[in-house]
Amino acid sequence: MQGKTKAGDTGGERRGEGRNMSGEEDWRLRVDMPWAVACVGALLVALGVHYKALCEDRTDLSLPELRASMEAKCRLLGDVFERPVMEPFLHPVPSQFGVAVWVEREQWASPVHEALDRIEEAIGRGSYKADAAGSGARRLRLIQRIVRVATSRPHSGTQDDSLSLVSVATAQQLGLGLAQHVCTVDLRGEVIMHGISFFRRASSSAGDSRVQCFSFDERQAYCTIPEDVSSTWLSREVPAAVATLMSRWLQLDSFRDASTVRRWALEREAQSCKYALRALQQLELSVNAHPEMPAPLDVAETIDRLQSLIDAGELIQFARAADDLQFHPLLLPQLYIPWDQALVIHFSILLPVMMTGILGVRITVAARRRQRAVAKLQEATEAKKND
């Protein structure tokens, strides 16, 4: 009796054990399956996004067509464009000029504004006479300005020697690089900043009645104005000093001669064309050297902007737009990173996602094995029960 009871108990224990294992396996299947689906899904999504970014989001640079259309537009300039270049241009032609002026007296600011207005008017009248009539578009100012009144000098004393004035002017014009962002109307344009500081000086003689200007850097200067001068004198001498400095910086002989201004504008457009064509030619050589590396889709916006400038005939904007295309941040890695290094970079990016996918596969395989083990155990239990 006791033996039979033990045998029955043993069978019941086995059946209960099988039921417990089956319930445990079902519970683990229910818990592990979402993790496996999530891991494999993350791997598939990452692979899909990576494949789309590497293989599908591509654009055609169309450099030969761009260069041909730009060259055809530039040849309309005539002999100015055909003239050989003595020295290669190292920087894009500026589409705007910025002038930051510091004056020691508030009444000096008005003649400075008048001088810059006259220069702007003279350049506009000489440069844009032909194409302003053809296009009714409103043109931006060529000369952007900042005029500030600095009544107190940073250094102590009222010395008028050149070293102290250069030191004060340097301190005032220290932020020309930051002022460039203030003067930039079009962030995609090229702007060159210039600085002028006006100081007062003691009148030493009756003949000392002119504004004296001195350059202490390539695009920086300071001027001294005698004390106790009349407003008539200021309205005559200050604009003359500003015009002299701007004429030197812009490399323009005369603001009054319309033909001189027009020739200066044509030369600037020709320089912009030559710089842009050289940039596109260098980019085309780089692209031909790496034919297996296509351009990302985000470069299409820069290409479209350059094409729109060509269609609109904005020759002065060609240089900066071609420069932006040649040194596009998304285009440079495609051109200069070798394929083996790119493979290492892509593998390091995909490695964590691949580990997640492997974990998901492992969970799925383990769940399948447990499910088969439970099925075999149930079959064995049923077979013993039938026996």
d(Cα 346, Cα 380) in Å, to the nearest integer? 50
Does residue 49 fall inside a structural domain? yes
The pLDDT score that the predictor gives to residue 245 is 95
Task: Identify whether residues 105 and 251 lie together within a single domain.
Answer: yes
The H or E element containing residue 197 is strand 191-201
Does residue 87 fall inside a structural domain? no
d(Cα 2, Cα 15) in Å, to the nearest integer? 20
The pLDDT score that the predictor gives to residue 334 is 58
Does residue 86 fall inside a structural domain? no
Task: Identify whether residues 236 and 128 lie together within a single domain.
Answer: yes
Does residue 141 fall inside a structural domain? yes
The pLDDT score that the predictor gives to residue 353 is 74
Task: Report the domain count for the chain.
Answer: 3
Task: Identify whether residues 155 and 100 lie together within a single domain.
Answer: yes
Does residue 124 fall inside a structural domain? yes
Domain boundary pick from 221, 256, 291: 256
Per-residue pLDDT tens for 323-346?
A: 888 888 877 765 566 667 766 777
Does residue 85 fall inside a structural domain? no
To the question of pTM greater than 0.95 for the whole model, the response is no
Task: Identify whether residues 231 and 128 lie together within a single domain.
Answer: yes
- 3 state DSSP class of 149: strand
The pLDDT score that the predictor gives to residue 6 is 47
The pLDDT score that the predictor gives to residue 243 is 94
Task: Identify whether residues 238 and 179 lie together within a single domain.
Answer: yes
Task: Identify whether residues 24 and 6 lie together within a single domain.
Answer: yes
CA dihedral (204, 210, 211, 213) in degrees, to 10, reads: -90
Which portions of the chain are predicted below pLDDT 70? 1-33, 35, 50, 53-57, 126-140, 152-160, 183-187, 204-208, 293, 333-339, 342-343, 387
Does residue 200 fall inside a structural domain? yes
Q: Which domain, by its residues, includes 347? A: 2-56+339-386
The pLDDT score that the predictor gives to residue 110 is 94
The pLDDT score that the predictor gives to residue 204 is 60
Domain boundary pick from 256, 273, 307: 256
Does residue 83 fall inside a structural domain? no
The pLDDT score that the predictor gives to residue 277 is 92
Task: Identify whether residues 228 and 372 lie together within a single domain.
Answer: no
The pLDDT score that the predictor gives to residue 190 is 81
Task: Identify whether residues 131 and 192 lie together within a single domain.
Answer: yes
CA dihedral (354, 356, 362, 365) in degrees, to 10, reads: -90
Domain boundary pick from 240, 256, 272: 256
Handedness of CA 358, 361, 365, 366 (dihedral sign): positive
The pLDDT score that the predictor gives to residue 57 is 60
Contact status, residue 235 vs residue 117, Cβ threshold 8 Å:
no
